[in-house]
Chains A and B, each alone.
Chain A
Amino acid sequence: MSGVDPTFDLDGQPVALQPGDTILTAAARAGLDIPHLCWSEEVSGSASCRLCTVLADGRPVAACVTPAVAGQKVDCRTASLATQRLRLLQMLFVEGNHFCPGCEKSGNCVLQVQAERAGMTDLNFEVLNPERPVDASHPDVLFEPNRCILCQLCVRASDEIDGKRVFAIGGHGIATRLLIDSPSGRLGDSALSVDDRSAHICPVGALLPKRVGFAVPIGQRRFDTEDTRG
């Protein structure tokens, strides 16, 4: 065998791949960002948000769960995929109730920063305005289902890291929702502890540890830039 590592082509750049790599993990190791929401290296993939959709030899696939193949040509930064990402983000925004100025996750929110990076300036689609009651029953963690994007990260973290199986997915279609494993169906009498990984893995403001919302002021948060530091 030759000593040269196998690679695939991502937007014209060669990316080295290792056995077991997905397109997304290989790209991440090479420092190349493929936009994503529902993927985390800590847990298995759900392939639900589809933001990481790329064209692998012309075929649309979710980069987070698709094995990287040596010699493959992968396109991510094309005009049509940029539009596709924008539309998917707009769909997530109209599906829930996402009001960034009133959300304590603002500045730390992956949905928000992806929308910003995608150049999203409007919703494009009509808002669905769901009515989803907030669950504040847990002493240390707030569940705000209006902001849930059904990424399943909390489900997987609770299953795979915490070993508690606190969450599950229920319903179907547009009525799909996050279920909580407890007699009342509320977070307060579930086995969730604020120390659990699943209480912190939420990329948006749906699951939030209480009483820390503004401990880090707006302007000094994860995704704040020179422009937003004020």
Chain B
Amino acid sequence: MGDAADIMSEAARAAADAVLDRWQRDPHALVQVLRETQAIMHWLSRPLLAHIAAALGLTRAQVEGVAGFYRFFHTRPVGRTRLLFSDNITDRMLGSEALLAQLCARLGVAPGEVDAQGRFSVDRCSCTGLCDQGPALLVNHHQVITRLDATRVDALANLLLADTPVEQWPAAWFTVVDGVQRADVLLSGLAADAPTLPAVLAQSPQALLDEVAQSGLRGRGGAGFPTARKWQACRDAAGDLRVVVCNADEGEPGTFKDRVLLAFHADAVFDGMTVAARAVGAQQGFLYLRGEYRYLLPQLEGVLARRRAQGLLGRDACGVAGFGFDIAIHLGAGAYVCGEESALIESLEGKRGTPRIRPPFPVQAGYLGRPTVVNNVETFCAVAHIARRGGAWWAGIGTAQSTGTKIHSVSGDCARPGLYEYPLGTPIAQILDDCGARDVQAVQVGGPSGTCVPAADFGHTIAFEDVPSAGAFMVFDRTRDLFEVARHFARFFAHESCGLCTPCRVGTELVVRRLDKLAHARGAGSASAFDIERLHDLDTVLHSGTHCGLGASACNPLRDTMRHFGAAYAQRATAPQFQPDVDLDAELSAARRVTGRTDAGAHLHTDTPA
């Protein structure tokens, strides 16, 4: 470690102290403190982390452990301007890799590196939730640029090389559209003559809960747990203080519905949270906003401020005597696993986002040990409607087991990507028709952790009892290679594994390496049926007992594509018998370096013809 990294500047200390004071040196605010300090200092040096640790009464190692967990925290120097290309498969299908290469070439940096003058660094990040207007990139974890193309990237390079401040970049680059293609209940918004929230909250907590129970509403985050049952369990749990959390950590690649709900229907979301708080007896609310949506923060804070001024939040909220409830926004810092509710709570408490051991469940002991309800953005939005129009009305939409509507984030190979809201029970084929998809090979429903549906199954419907979905709908036409899609998702899961349990930590990495071998990453023809067998092996292990759902679903794309698109694997496994994935010539590189030899005699030519 160089001297520069060991000495903390006065500026860094002052920046950290101001942030620490704003958070009242609360150790549970560690993630927020790190985020805000980094926004000023660009990266978090060890001395800076030690300073923050001391101020919060934590150990250095604890703080380093948290800083090293979240992908958006930098513990090594980065450029003053940091660009992260969204790396969902849909971004790649729109040419993101070529644009990344183009930008890097213009700037003279390699991905992941910072230029010599410390001006900029360029890298990739997991899906930014802009798949219908990609390729996209994040600027300083703070703004997003959409609809990248060669012209835009060229202009971007010019601005970066000229050290032009981000504020002076063309405003049009930062445009994010709502992309609503088909609106039903939720995307149409609340009717102008809908009852006000205070009118709704005049009902008893039990009556509010009963309406939600009658609606049959199930959680929209993926697991589909009945919302009313979750609320009831929280209400029944022992404890004086209760917490309602809105999970806006929309990290599932290919999903962007929550972004649109937050940007255009934030009041409905906060209404739903307030109804939940009244129903379960909560005083404290959190919106856990994924770091990628940081640009929505000012607007959302504005909505909350207005609601406080209107008396919808705070003491005697909505005019209900004795009902005190307020909502704070916490930002994530780039960790998909924090979408898991107990990991999200750990993150809210300022820790590494490692899923908790359960029981106890969050409804029994969640945030700071308090009974906590965690629901998805779309779930709360649905509650805002149900509380006004009644459970029976909602139950009349959709199917008996899957009531209401569902918003699908449609991206990939189709003429009209964007948001499509349908009653649950809508056939996949209809959604494909409506979005103008042609010659479709497969749809990834619910994101990588969901289901890869082949063309033969397009008659199936999106519903909990058929093909469930957390909201992503990525379309792949016949020009796409489903093996490469699965390999991309495998890299995503390995990158996002929290590292706690053996099968997920090691297994996701082994899947990536095996798929790389099949992809001929080290030269053609070394993969055989043996490697396919090992993939089945890994799939079995990861489906047989991981700590959380991330590990359990990490092999879903692999399993589905091996089943439906086996030829894509078989054609890559052509060696008659097992061959080790060792590049013998590369193994000699150290010897060449030591001996200074570069001649042909110091090379083996086993893989590539001369």
A206 is an interface residue with CB less than 8 A from chain B:
no
The stretch among B58-66, B297-305, B564-572 that forms the contact with chain A is B58-66
Complex Cα gap A176–B502 (Å): 11
8 A Cβ contacts from B323-379 to A: 335, 352, 357, 359
The stretch among B182-190, B381-389, B506-514 that forms the contact with chain A is B506-514
Q: How many residues of B sit at the interface, in one of the four size bands?
A: 35 or more
Complex Cα gap A87–B502 (Å): 10
Q: Is the CB of A168 within 8 A of B544?
A: no
A111 to chain B minimum Cβ distance, whole angstroms, is 11
Q: Is the CB of A48 within 8 A of B547?
A: yes
B396 is an interface residue with CB less than 8 A from chain A:
no
A46 is an interface residue with CB less than 8 A from chain B:
yes
Chain A residue nearest to B531 in the complex (CB):
A126
List chain A residues, Cβ under 8 A from B494.
Answer: 173-174
List chain A residues, Cβ under 8 A from B503.
Answer: 50, 88, 91
Q: Is the CB of B499 within 8 A of A175?
A: yes
8 A Cβ contacts from A105-147 to B: 124-126, 128
Chain A residue nearest to B545 in the complex (CB):
A60
Given the contacts A50-B546, A92-B502, A126-B513, A170 and B60 also touching, CB distance less than 8 Å: no
Q: Is the CB of A172 within 8 A of B68?
A: yes
Complex Cα gap A149–B547 (Å): 16
Q: Is the CB of A168 within 8 A of B500?
A: no
Q: Is the CB of B541 within 8 A of A170?
A: no
Given the contacts A174-B509, A179-B65, A50 and B499 also touching, CB distance less than 8 Å: no
8 A Cβ contacts from A75-119 to B: 80, 84, 87-88, 91-92, 94-95
Complex Cα gap A46–B497 (Å): 16
Q: Which of A67, A80, A95, A165 contacts B359 (CB 8 A)?
A: A67
Given the contacts A48-B547, A50-B545, A128-B509, A173 and B499 also touching, CB distance less than 8 Å: yes
Given the contacts A124-B537, A171-B69, A172-B498, A94 and B59 also touching, CB distance less than 8 Å: no
List chain B residues, Cβ under 8 A from A128.
Answer: 506, 509, 513
Q: Which of B61, B335, B514, B537 contacts A180 (CB 8 A)?
A: B61
Q: Which of A47, A67, A94 contacts B501 (CB 8 A)?
A: A47
A167 is an interface residue with CB less than 8 A from chain B:
yes
Q: Is the CB of B502 within 8 A of A50?
A: yes
List chain A residues, Cβ under 8 A from B308.
Answer: none
A-B contact pairs, 17 of them (CB 8 A): A48-B547, A50-B546, A60-B544, A67-B359, A84-B544, A87-B537, A95-B506, A124-B537, A126-B510, A126-B514, A150-B500, A171-B68, A172-B335, A174-B505, A174-B508, A181-B60, A183-B50
> Which residues of B does A touch, CB under 8 Å?
46, 50, 59-62, 64-65, 68-69, 71, 335, 352, 357, 359, 494-503, 505-510, 513-514, 534, 537, 540-541, 544-547, 580-581
Other CB < 8 Å A-B pairs besides A51-B502, A62-B547, A176-B500, 5 of them? A45-B357, A62-B357, A62-B545, A172-B496, A174-B505
> Which residues of A does B touch, CB under 8 Å?
45-51, 53, 60-62, 65, 67, 80, 84, 87-88, 91-92, 94-95, 124-126, 128, 149-150, 165-176, 179-183, 185
The 8 closest A-B pairs by CB, nearest first: A176-B499, A60-B545, A181-B61, A168-B61, A91-B506, A53-B545, A174-B509, A173-B497
